[in-house]
Amino acid sequence: FEPVPEAAFVLGLDLGSRFLRGAVCDLAGQIRARQDVELRGADATGALDAIAALQESLVEAAALPADRIDGVVLGFPGVVETATRTLRLTTPYIRGLEGRAFGTEVETRLGLAVTLENDINLAAVGERWAGVARGVDDFAFLSIGTGTGMGLVLGGELHRGNHGAAGEVDWALAGIGTDVDPSAEGAAKLAAELAWNGTGGAAPPYDARDIFVAARRGDELAGTIVEEIARRVAAHIAPIAAVADPALIVLGGGLGMNGDLLLQPVRALLQQWLPYPPRVEISSLGENAVLMGAVATGLQAALDNVFVNRPRALPATQA
């Protein structure tokens, strides 16, 4: 039988470098409220405040009692150490997250059970739930933006690895002696090395978005930079394809979404390099991929709870 959609709700959150995104979803998978908040350089404490404020705002917008929230799934850029719930390899854009038991702090602040998950892992879950990877059991989501990261799904299940650090592809090509960084930082560095004069004679450091815009306008040197970024993207895909043999690679992130410039050269290089190249597609969820993965993860847990013994809110902290 089907559960009553209003029997419980889940709160999905995506804590990014610049924005905190949130959504409330019912048991039928319908989004009841959705909001984004700009973090404006917040540190870990500021991010915690923003999470609490966004939860309150979403519950109000969805017009539901706070105690109907079954749980919270929070995606963030980094790795969660399972035993201690300590955050590692976190983004430098939110100061103070590294080494912090942030999940416990969020639970205490919200009074709800909180699941922390790597953001790119959740992006992969989101694409399988509602995006271009629907029906695909073996695939990877490669995010290229301020950094690079990968979420790997094998046999229909998210693969986290021994330390929860599967997909940290920044280290996949460590020690080869050449720069293969395809991120925004890598693109800006490459532009400086090639003495690109930017748009309107701007001086470095360059915005990677400007490089792609210039390439579309026919800037020859910008086109060369984009071509090299495409090679670096393919170089990150190749070892994963060789080891895991996925059917699909989904490109996402701020730079990864430039499919008109990246897809054809990446596909061509993989055809040259690999005996069994995976299909490569652009994310159909875009900036919503992480949030949709958080919602999907929370929804599955809530459905499990409804059919077993669903807990409500955590007990209030004693004064």
Contact 53, 20 (CB under 8 A): no
| R_g over Cα of the chain | 20
* Res. 316: pLDDT tops 50: no
Q: Of residues 175 and 57, which shows the higher confidence score?
A: 57
Give mean pLDDT, residues 257-263: 97
CATH 3.30.420.40 domain span(s) along the chain? 5-122+287-307, 132-284
User: The tokens of 166 are what?
Assistant: 């599967």
Give mean pLDDT, residues 238-261: 97
* Res. 198: pLDDT tops 80: no
Measured between alpha carbons, how far is 156 from 162 in angstroms, rounded to an integer?
A: 18
What architecture does CATH give domain 5-122+287-307?
2-Layer Sandwich (3.30)
Measured between alpha carbons, how far is 43 from 265 in angstroms, rounded to an integer?
A: 39
Contact 285, 130 (CB under 8 A): yes
Give mean pLDDT, residues 92-97: 93
20-24, 71-75, 139-143, 206-210: least confidently modelled range: 206-210
Q: Which amino acid is present at 272?
A: Q
* Res. 319: pLDDT tops 80: no
* Res. 315: pLDDT tops 50: no
Mean pLDDT, the chain, whole residue set: 91
Closest by CA position to 57, among listed 97, 110, 15 = 110
Closest by CA position to 263, among listed 291, 290, 226 = 226
Angle formed by the axes of helices 184-193 and 208-216, nearest 10°: 70
Q: Give 132-284's CATH code, choosing from 3.30.420.40, 3.10.28.10, 2.40.50.140, 3.30.70.2740.
A: 3.30.420.40
